[in-house]
Structure 1
C-alpha cells in the first residue's frame, strides 16, 4: 500500500502546500518497535525525504527530541558551507547540496510546529531559533538569485512563523534573535514571498511592549508601509498597519514626520479605510483615534497651504499636494464620526485655516485659469489636475461638519465672512463633483437654530448679494413677513 501524501501545511493562518514527494511504500519502513535504531540509521545517511514522511506520518504529535536534535546538527553543519560562501563568493556554486539539506531540515521543523505546542517547545529549547535566524541572515548576505537559495530562505522564515504561532514563549525568543536585523534584511527583499513571510513573523511576534521597541527602530515600521505599497495583495503588511500600527498613536506620531509623501498617503488611505469600515469603533479605539485626530489636524493646519503650489506656473510637486489633500480627506471622515467630531470642532485654528484656504483657492481660481477654476481644464489620465479633484468640495464639507449643531463655529464662520464665500462657490464644477450638494449641506448646518446667520442670508438676497435662484438651488427661500425677512428651508436637515 502506498503511503499517502502529506496534507497541506498551514502557515499561521495561511495554507502552504507541502513539497511534492514521491510515493514511498510503507513496506520499506521498519517496525516502530526499534524506533531509535531506525532514526540513527536514517539520520546518519541524510535520507531527508524519509525523515519528512516519518515526521508527518508517524511522529508529528509525539516526535522524540532526538529527531529535532539531529535536524539541528545538520543545520549547523550545513551552515558552515554558507558561511564559507559569504566569505568567498566563488564557493556559491558549491552550495547546492548544503542548500538542499537546509531546505529539507526547515521543512521538517516547519511542519512539526503546526498547531503542536509540544514540538514548538522542544525545538525552541534546543536553540534552533537562534541557528535559523543566523542562517537566514547569511542567506541575505549572499545576495544571489539562485532558486535553491530562495527556497531555503522561504522555508526558514516559514519555520520561524510556525514556531511562533500561538506560542508566547517562542514569540519572545524569535523576537530576541530576529529584531531588528532580520526584519531590516527581509522586509525590503525583492522576493515577495520573503517579504510576506517576514511580515507574518513580525505580526505574530509584536505585542504592546515590543511596539515601544519599534518606536526606536522606525525604519522597520517604514519598511512595512513600503512593503504594502509594493505588494498590496499580501495580507500581512496591511494587517500590521491596521491592527497594530494604527492602535499605537505613539508609533504613528513618531513615524509620520519620517515618512515621504507616498508613504504618508498610504498610511492615510488605510486610516480612512479603518474609520469608514462597517465595524464601529470600540471603547479602546476612541482614545487612540482622538490622538490620531490631533496629529492629522495639527499637520493640516501647519501644511495645508502647500496645495497652493498646484496653481503656480512652476511644475508642482503632486506627491506633496496629494499628501496634503489626503489629510483633508481624513479630517472629513473623522468629523463624520460622532466620537471624533466634538474634539475637532474645538481644535485650535482648524476652522479658521479651512475658511482661509477656501478663500485663497477661490480667488486664485477666479483670477487665472488653473486647477482651482470652476471651469476646470481638459484632463488626461494621470494629469496633475486629478490630484486636486474634489478639494474645494471637501473644504466646504469640512466646514459644514465643524458647524454641525455647534453655534460657536456657526458664529465664527459668520465673523470670518465665510457664508458669502460658501454661497459664491455654488456652481457646477468639473473638478469638484457634488460641490453644490456640499454647499447646501454647509449652509444648512450654518443656519440651523441660528437666527443671526439666517438673517444675514436673507439680507444678502434683499441687497442683491444672493439671488433667489441661487438660494433656491441650495434649498432656501426668503419670505417677507411685514418688515422682517425670513429664510425658509425647503429641504430636510442633513446629518454630518
Structure 2
C-alpha cells in the first residue's frame, strides 16, 4: 500500500480481508507491517486502517505474529490512549488486541504488559458500551490460557487491578452492555478466582483511597456505603448462575459470602413499606437482598442429589450448616400472609388471627424468592424435609400455594416446594394426611380459591383439588 493510498483502495483491502483466503494473501504481502506504518492518531484514515488490521488478525496466525514482532501493542497504545481517539477508533483498536490475544500465550502476555494496569484503567473509564464490551473481551482473553491464572491474580489481587473492574462495572451500569464478556469476566474474577469479597469491598471505597483486601464485611454494611454498583455486580453473577448452570463452578467460599451478605443486609432492609416493584428497585439494600436470594436459589438448584457426597451436595450442606434454611423459614414466618389470604381473614378467627405486626414484602416477588430457595433445598434432601417438619413449618408452606399478584409464580413455586417436601418422606406425608383429618381441613388461604388439600391414596402425596359442590 502506498502512503497516499486513497479511501477507495483501502476499502477494497477491507473487503478482501473479510475472507480467510483474502487475509492469507494480504498476510503474505506484508499487509500488517504496512498498516502499522500508516497508523497515526492524527490521520483521518485511522479508523479504516484499524478495521483492516482487526480483520487481518482475525484467526490469521502469521498476521498475529507480525503484529507482536512489529511492536503492534505500542503502536495501538499511542492511538487508543490519545485524548483525540473517538469511540469508533477505540472500539476497533481494542478489537485488534482481542483478535491478537486469541493467538496464544506470547500474544496475550504482550498485550497485558503494555496495557495493564494504566492503559486498561483509562479505557475502562470511557463510559461507552461500544468500548466496554471489547475491553472485557480483551481482559477476559488475557486472563485465560496457560498464563491466564497469574494475570487474573494481578487483576483481582491488586488495588490497581480491582480499580479496573470497578470502572468497568460503573461503565456497564451507566452505559449498559450487549455482549457476554462482562458476565464471564466478573464471574471468573468473583467466583472462579474467589475474589468476590475483594471486589465487593472495592466498590465501597473512594477512588482516592486504596482497598484494604483484609477488611471485613461488617465495615461495609452501612446504608451510606452501599451503592448501585454492589447490586449490579450481584445481578450479573445471578444471571450467570441462572442462564448457564452447567457451565459454571461455585466454591463454598463464594456461597458462604453471599449468605453472609444476605443475613447482614436483612438488618438494613425496610420491611415496613410495601414496594410494588420487582428488583432492581433502585434501592441498593433491597436489590442486594433480592439478588443474594436468587444466587442462593440457583446454587441450591441441583437436580441430581445422590446418597453419596458430591461437590454439589457438599456445597448445599455447607449452606445448611450455616443456617440458610433457618434463615429463610424465619423470614417467611414473619411475613404477613399472601394478599388473597389477608382479604379473606377475619379477626375473630382464632386459628388465623390478623397480625398487625407482620412484615411486608420489600419488593415484588420477595415471598416467591423465599419459597424458591426452600423448594430447592427440599429437593431429595431428607435432612431438610425432616427439619421443616420439626420446625412445624409444613402448614406455613401449604399457605404459599396460592396466586398472589405481589409474587408472580408463587403458586407454582409453592406447589413445587410441597412436592419436594413430601417426596419419599413418609413422616411428612403422614403429617399432611393428619391435617386432612382435622378442622379446618384446608387452610383458608387455599379454600378461598375454591381448592382444598388432599392426600392422594396411591402416591400418599398432598395435592390441591377443587372443592366439590
Q: Tell me the TM-score normalized by structure 2.
A: 0.68
Alignment match of 1:296 (pick from 253, 258, 266): 258
3-state SS in 1 of match to 2:195: helix
Instruction: Give the aligned partner of residue 170 of structure 1.
Output: 107
Instruction: Give the aligned partner of residue 91 of structure 1.
Output: none
Instruction: Give the aligned partner of residue 139 of structure 2.
Output: 202
1-structure distance, mates of 2:302, 2:185? 21
CA contact (8 A) 2:365 2:408 kept: yes
Alignment match of 2:118 (pick from 181, 195, 200): 181
Matched, 1:254 2:198: yes
Instruction: Give the aligned partner of residue 420 of structure 1.
Output: 395
Q: How does 1:451-466 map to 2 (within 5 A)?
A: 451-457=426-432, 460=435, 464=439, 466=441
Alignment match of 1:125 (pick from 58, 64, 69): 69
Matched, 1:324 2:289: yes
Alignment match of 1:344 (pick from 310, 316, 334): 316
Q: Deviations over 1:231-257 (max 9, x none)?
A: 545215445447744662413343234
CA contact (8 A) 1:103 1:151 kept: yes
3-state SS in 1 of match to 2:43: helix
Q: Deviations over 1:325-353 (max 9, x none)?
A: 12212222332223645632434211111
Alignment match of 1:476 (pick from 454, 457, 465): 454
Larger Rg: 1 or 2?
1
2-structure distance, mates of 1:438, 1:167? 47
Deviation, structure 1 residue 306: 3.8
CA contact (8 A) 1:476 1:488 kept: no
2-structure distance, mates of 1:440, 1:49? 66
Deviation, structure 1 residue 106: 4.0
1-structure distance, mates of 2:412, 2:96? 55
CA contact (8 A) 1:203 1:236 kept: no
1-structure distance, mates of 2:283, 2:453? 36
Deviation, structure 1 residue 280: 6.2
| Pair 1:423–1:240, CA change in 2 (3 A) | closer
Matched, 1:393 2:358: no
Q: How does 1:220-259 map to 2 (within 5 A)?
A: 220-232=164-176, 234-235=178-179, 237-238=181-182, 240-241=184-185, 244-245=188-189, 248-259=192-203
Alignment match of 1:211 (pick from 136, 148, 152): 152
Deviation, structure 1 residue 412: 2.2
3-state SS in 1 of match to 2:141: helix
| Pair 1:109–1:311, CA change in 2 (3 A) | same
Unaligned runs of 5+ in 1: 1-38, 80-97, 143-147, 373-384, 480-486
Instruction: Give the aligned partner of residue 60 of structure 1.
Output: 26
Alignment match of 2:386 (pick from 397, 407, 411): 411
CA contact (8 A) 1:164 1:205 kept: yes
CA contact (8 A) 2:126 2:171 kept: no
Instruction: Give the aligned partner of residue 272 of structure 2.
Output: 311
CA contact (8 A) 1:120 1:163 kept: yes
| Pair 1:117–1:473, CA change in 2 (3 A) | same
The size of the alignment, in residue pairs, is 397
Unaligned runs of 5+ in 2: 17-21, 204-225, 276-280, 305-311, 343-353, 465-469
Deviation, structure 1 residue 367: 3.6
Alignment match of 1:446 (pick from 405, 421, 431): 421
3-state SS in 1 of match to 2:334: helix
Matched, 1:358 2:336: no
Q: Deviations over 1:199-244 (max 9, x none)?
A: 3322332223221111021222233334444454521544544774
2-structure distance, mates of 1:445, 1:236? 34
Deviation, structure 1 residue 457: 4.4
CA contact (8 A) 1:164 1:204 kept: yes
Q: How does 1:104-123 map to 2 (within 5 A)?
A: 106=50, 109-123=53-67
3-state SS in 1 of match to 2:407: coil
Which protein has the bigger helix share?
1
